[in-house]
Amino acid sequence: MKCKDVRTNLPEYLEGGTAPGMKSVAEHLAECESCKAFSVVLEEALHHIELEKQTEFDPYLFTRIQAGIENRRNQNRFGYARQMARPLAYAMVFIFLLVAGIGLGRMFSNQQALATDYKTEIFYLQDEQSYLQDLVSE
Amino acid sequence: MIQDADFITRLKQGDPDAFRKLVDQHQIPLVRLCKGFLHNEEDARDVVQDTFIEVFESIRRFREDARLSTWLYRIAVNKSLNRIRKNRISGWLVQLDLFTPSEQEDGLSVDSALQVAEETPDSGGKTRIIRKAVDTLPESQRIAFVLHKYLDLSYKEISTVMEVSLPAVESLLFRARQSLQKKLYNVYKKNVL
């Protein structure tokens, strides 16, 4: 069996696989130092997983779960109001900006109209002045 | 583990003793399962706590055509994957802040883990490499691998949890093992392990 084929079958071999090719894997590992060394690496990886699996029973987990459930219940009580609060706030800000914009727009257009009125008045005054000057010269 | 109609009925009625029994029976397998994804005891226990809270709130919707444990494992897997995504996003946001160097391990590729391991060729570096090799598996392979190696579920049980066929589970686990073997062999070739 070639080293590459051994490596392909190595994970199953290390997990206690019983497929027909496993005997050939064992025979190859007995002869090939490189594959043997790599099998040690893979075994270490599997061992690491076994170590990581170790965990202890937590006697306080149920208490914490109950506290978590109670917290969620309290949050849900104001849930509807909280759900509506944000869109309402956005709507009010939008309305405020709209009204402010309209107000500013009117103020600006009033100022322009006022300026236009002043210009018109000045124009008529100038016109009247030239008329009077013409009268005087006559 | 007890799964009878009476027990499920009591759970649906909100019987606290039944719920406590459920928590006590499934606590350790669920923490193992979550550690397979998160590699962190504290995060794993947080996710397990969230899992049980969700179970309590949605037990009335539990259809009794599947085992309770199957349903628990599915919820725990989804919550673990969501926590990983959330941690990844937080890691990116921290890295965007140039003045706050990230200390998180998440986000390291196998190659980056390899670089770190070359600098720290102790058992911590090896652990990092092995974890990253598992973490960089495609999602469905990773789920199948964790269910098999961390929960010791049979292929049939895995197919029930993942809702895929038995041949699909065999294929996923085969590919996961091959992928891990190749990644670790690449590292071995560089004489780090």
Judged by DSSP in three states, B32 sits in helix
Give the count of Cβ contacts less than 8 A between chain A and B.
79
Most B CBs within 10 Å: which of A42, A52, A64, as the mutation test of the B interface?
A: A52
Strand extents, DSSP E, chain B: none
Write the residue in B49, B133, B180 that is nearest to A65 by C-beta.
Answer: B49
Where do we find the tokens 């990844």? B88
Query: Which two tokens mark A64?
Result: 């914490």
pLDDT at residue B128, as a whole number: 80
Give CA A18 to chain center in angstroms.
48
pLDDT above 90 as % of chain B: 53
Most B CBs within 10 Å: which of A61, A69, A75, as the mutation test of the B interface?
A: A61
Q: Does B27 touch chain A (CB under 8 A)?
A: yes
pLDDT tens digits for B69-85? Answer: 999 999 999 999 999 98
Look up the ipTM and state it: 0.74
Q: Please judge whether B177 and A37 are an interchain contact, meaning their C-beta atoms are less than 8 angstroms apart.
A: no
pLDDT at residue B78, as a whole number: 95
pLDDT(B58) > 80: yes
* Per-window interface: B 105-124 vs A, CB < 8 A: none
Write the residue in B32, B39, B177 that is nearest to A55 by C-beta.
Answer: B32
pLDDT tens digits for B103-137? Answer: 444 444 555 555 544 444 445 677 788 888 889 99
pLDDT tens digits for A19-66? Answer: 777 888 888 989 999 889 889 888 888 888 888 899 999 999 999 999
Query: What's the gap in Å between the CA of B23 and the closest CA on chain A?
Result: 7
Instruction: For residue B153, give the nearest of B47, B84, B72 by alpha carbon.
Output: B72
Q: Please judge whether B53 and A72 are an interchain contact, meaning their C-beta atoms are less than 8 angstroms apart.
A: yes
Contacts of A27 by beta carbon, 8 Å cutoff, 6+ apart: A1
Instruction: For residue A42, give the nearest of A30, A54, A29 by alpha carbon.
Output: A29
pLDDT above 90 as % of chain A: 20
Q: Which residues of A touch B44 (CB under 8 A)?
A: 55
